[in-house]
Structure 1
Amino acid sequence: MPTTIKAALKKWEEASGKKSSEAREIKLIGVYPPIEKMEGPLHILVNCEKLSLSTNLISQIQNLSVLKNLKVLSLGRNIIKTLQGIEGAAESLEQLWISYNQIDKLKPLRNLTRLHTLYMAHNMVREWREFEHLTDLPALEDLVFIGNPLEEEATINGNYTQQVSKRLLLLKKLDGYPIIREEDDQDEDDKAGAEGDSDDSDVDQ
């Protein structure tokens, strides 16, 4: 029998000595037997800003609309195949950690207007037309995408970072590394040139 959210929360309260209804961060990681469904009394987590459900056997994202203050959701290392249901946290979610799942479609992410961090390494995204949905995220700055078939193929072709940076113009970090854009290099050259002109004028005086 899988562990229910209700039972997992009870164990968490016993171990932490806190009330789940008052907690800002709740970790239900690697529960045994694993959690399989995001069902149960999630509505009592009225203060929860960070919910960790990684390393379980969850297959569907559900019932997020009751988590009014949720900012960080961790669902890594589950068996999730679709992002349907993530829309429930569209008004509050800022970070989604969902690496090591089986996701191949990204369209449901389009509603997450506050999302600035997306860690989804080692999933199943294969096509740039799916990746394009990320261009609708106005706050996205930090993306971890390594280990998807799309990334692996583009890396072999030698243009992965370039392809990503030209699509996600506001992105600052990709797979843990800062994005260096051609216009940034040009700005540095212009700045260096301006400083050189200034030095020359000082010499003339």
Structure 2
Amino acid sequence: MAKATTIKDALKRWEEKYEMNPADATDVNLCFQWPFIEKMDNSLAVLVNCRKLSLSTNMIEKIAGEGIGDTLEELWISYNFIEKIKSVSFFKKLRVLYMSNNVVKDWSEFNRLQEIPHLEDLLFVGNPLYDALEEAQWRAEATRRLPNLKKLDGEPVIRVAGTAPAADASAD
């Protein structure tokens, strides 16, 4: 099997393709690299203006990249092998996190998303934790744990004033 692509190599390819310095980019797409990217590393620190980073369809096992935490607003990291959600508190401006079809299976890991202060749009379908519950039960529990969410798995989060988050999207 081919050696994994590093973030540094992927950024070099991106720069050649778009004829632009990645440091100036606000939207960087490193999806489906071949060979796959296996880890996020400090090479991401060059993305000082990046607002949206797409790393879906690789073989990444954990979220990292402290260097982009001050600017990043969207992280698309679906179809990877993420089981542990660590070090997400440095994502100070992250609003959108698409991490469907990974391998998160524990509420203790899911709870780490509470460390992202502005998270409002989460795509989590296809993780073992999601698959283990009925949809209404999943939505109720996820929105209870993440009270700032406005959108969960592509659907608006409907809350009734003065009550716990609604279990489904229907309103009376």
> 1:66 maps to which residue?
46
> 1:125 maps to which residue?
104
Alpha-carbon contact 1:121-1:144 (below 8 Å) kept: yes
> 2:139 maps to which residue?
161
| Match 2:60 to one of 80, 91, 108 | 80
1:96 shift after superposition: 0.2
1:20 pairs with 2:26: no
Q: TM-score, normalised by structure 2?
A: 0.82
What is the number of equivalent residue pairs in this alignment?
Answer: 155
Alpha-carbon contact 1:125-1:150 (below 8 Å) kept: yes
> 1:116 maps to which residue?
95
Q: Judging changes above 3 Å, is the alpha-carbon distance between structure 1 residues 99 and 184 closer, same or farther for their aligned structure 2 residues?
A: farther
| Match 1:46 to one of 8, 23, 30 | 23
Alpha-carbon contact 1:165-1:181 (below 8 Å) kept: no
Q: Judging changes above 3 Å, is the alpha-carbon distance between structure 1 residues 7 and 125 closer, same or farther for their aligned structure 2 residues?
A: closer
Q: Judging changes above 3 Å, is the alpha-carbon distance between structure 1 residues 107 and 79 closer, same or farther for their aligned structure 2 residues?
A: same
Say which SS state the counterpart of residue 105 (structure 1) adopts: coil
Letter in 1 for 2:50: L
State percent identity of aligned pairs: 37
> 1:140 maps to which residue?
119
Which aligned segments of 4 or more residues in structure 1 are displaced greater than 4 angstroms? none
Q: Which runs of 5+ in 2 are unaligned?
A: 165-172
Q: TM-score, normalised by structure 1?
A: 0.70
> 2:15 maps to which residue?
9
The structure having more radius of gyration, on CA atoms, is 1
Letter in 2 for 1:88: G
Offset from partner CA, 1:137-184 (integer Å, 9 cap, x none): 11111000000000111227x510000111111100000001112437
> 2:69 maps to which residue?
90
1:107 shift after superposition: 1.8
Say which SS state the counterpart of residue 160 (structure 1) adopts: helix
> 2:79 maps to which residue?
100
> 1:34 maps to which residue?
none
| Match 1:172 to one of 147, 150, 156 | 150
Letter in 2 for 1:173: K
Say which SS state the counterpart of residue 143 (structure 1) adopts: strand
Q: Judging changes above 3 Å, is the alpha-carbon distance between structure 1 residues 8 and 64 closer, same or farther for their aligned structure 2 residues?
A: closer
Which has more helix, going by share of residues?
A: 1
2-side partners of 1:7 and 1:89: how far apart?
19
Say which SS state the counterpart of residue 131 (structure 1) adopts: helix
1-side partners of 2:57 and 2:23: how far apart?
25
2-side partners of 1:123 and 1:79: how far apart?
10
2-side partners of 1:91 and 1:173: how far apart?
22
Q: Which runs of 5+ in 1 are unaligned?
A: 14-18, 22-44, 187-205
2-side partners of 1:165 and 1:8: how far apart?
36
Alpha-carbon contact 1:55-1:75 (below 8 Å) kept: yes
Say which SS state the counterpart of residue 118 (structure 2) adopts: coil
2-side partners of 1:9 and 1:185: how far apart?
50
